[in-house]
Amino acid sequence: MFTEVLICLLIAGLIFLVQRSRTQVLKTEDGWWGAGAPPDGGEDITICPFKVTTSDEELEDLYSRMDNTRPVPSLEDSQFNYGFNSQYLQKVVSYWRHDFDWRRQVEKLNQYPNFKTNIEGIDIHYLHVKPKKVLEGSAAIPLIMVHGWPGSFYEFYGLIPLLTEPSDPHDLVFEVVCPSIPGYGFSEAPHKKGFDSVCAAHVFHKLMRRLGFQQFYAHGGDWGWLVTTNMAQLEPNTIRGLHVNFAPPSRPGLPMALSIMLGRCFPKLFGFTDLDIQRLYPCTEKLVVESIKESGYMHIQATKPDTVGRGLNDSPVGLAAYILEKFSTWTSRDFRNLEDGGLTRKFSLDDLLTNVMIYWTSGCIVSSMRFYKENFGKGLNQPHSKIPVYVPTGFACFPNELMHTPKLWVKQKYHKLRTFTPMARGGHFAAMEEPQLMAEDIQKFTKTVEKMKKVE
């Protein structure tokens, strides 16, 4: 009898915990991130068109700084293993100085409608791209896409037309909003300490409501993964579906530990695939050594971003080396062994330098790096790390991502994982590197969720 009572109590306790976790949402409050104290009166909700511009003075200053750079020879046979190869950097700088047409790229940046609106004291920049044609009787699906570091809203320029103007008549048509995270690109930087991913998520919810969206889908990679995840945790009834291509474990627990210890010997027990085994083992090399090799920047930015950031803000060549190195090694770790870092194997120099120029012309490198300090400076045991995501989720698992996340690990956080797609190719900057594959997976995930909602 005692055993039966104990079992009933345990079951009741589990049910209580499950129900409690299902109703648990992330909490936050309105902030004021503008300079000084908030003004009297309500928030200015004006939406203003915005255009990227340039000038002769801006370009002359850039060229002068390039011309006065001091090259440093790379070590013999070092390729990209010591960072950005100096010999190849000179070639990139030469192209930038003599062949890259920033004015033409400014026109490209303005090909989609750009806007700014003030939220919680800072100007938020975003693209808002509406489809040119929607079938009668149907509606475009609203989707917010959030970038990361050292990327920008420009990462999505190849993906946007595939979503707003799909070639397949059976595909869904999206209405896309691409904001710049505050402190990145053309969004104003917070003037006060404490602006982290949850604050960004809160601001972007306000942005979407201001644009008239009561429910919408969200997609993110890198910091965009965390911001959109926080959006789902803050307002699970507002996010219709969440699609991410980066999902490192936020709170490694017993299932993850057991899978690491036993997964190589018993892969089927943990649902491990051949790719999982290849990317995770041997653990010391794949999970520890590789993380150390590629995370030095993070320690700097999470502790003293203003120190190194000041130098990068003054030197366009230094800024390019710092940013473009990530587009090499984060696209494929094998690119470290190439003299040119494999940069133009997946990207064009025009696209890479356009992203660099967004950082240079807006002067946002320091504020973008501070985002690491604001997030990691509060410790790893933040409320959002403890709260599961119960919004329908899709995960695109790109094989060359910085950190490989098996399906089992993704499900620990995202309890309504609807699609998990092992992608054929691609790395960390997947939306920019493989826009067609990304568009296809967003379509697949959204169709899956929409179909399930109709059944419900």
Contacts of 446 (CB under 8 A, 6+ apart): 141, 172, 217, 241, 243, 394
How far, in Å, are 9, 11, 12, 15, 75 from residue 5 at the CA level? 6, 10, 10, 15, 72
Nearest of 185, 203, 186, 207 to residue 194 by alpha carbon: 203
Rounded Cα distance, 55 and 62, in Å: 11
| 189, 182 Cβ separation under 8 angstroms | yes
Rounded Cα distance, 323 and 273, in Å: 33
Strand positions, DSSP E, 196-342: 216-220, 239-244
Where b means 16+ CB within 10 Å and e means fewer, 308-344 reads bbeebbebbbbbbbbbbbbbbbbbbeebbebebbbbe
Rounded Cα distance, 449 and 456, in Å: 11
Summarize the chain as % helix, strand, coil (round to 5): 50, 15, 40
Rounded Cα distance, 150 and 180, in Å: 12
Residues in the chain: 456
Tell me if residue 428 is catalytic.
Answer: yes
Tell me if residue 205 is catalytic.
Answer: no
Tell me if residue 82 is catalytic.
Answer: no
DSSP three-state, residue 366: helix
Q: Which of 88, 157, 428, 441 is catalytic?
A: 428
| 93, 108 Cβ separation under 8 angstroms | no
Q: Which of 196, 222, 276, 351 is catalytic?
A: 222
Q: Just list the catalytic residues.
A: 222, 372, 428
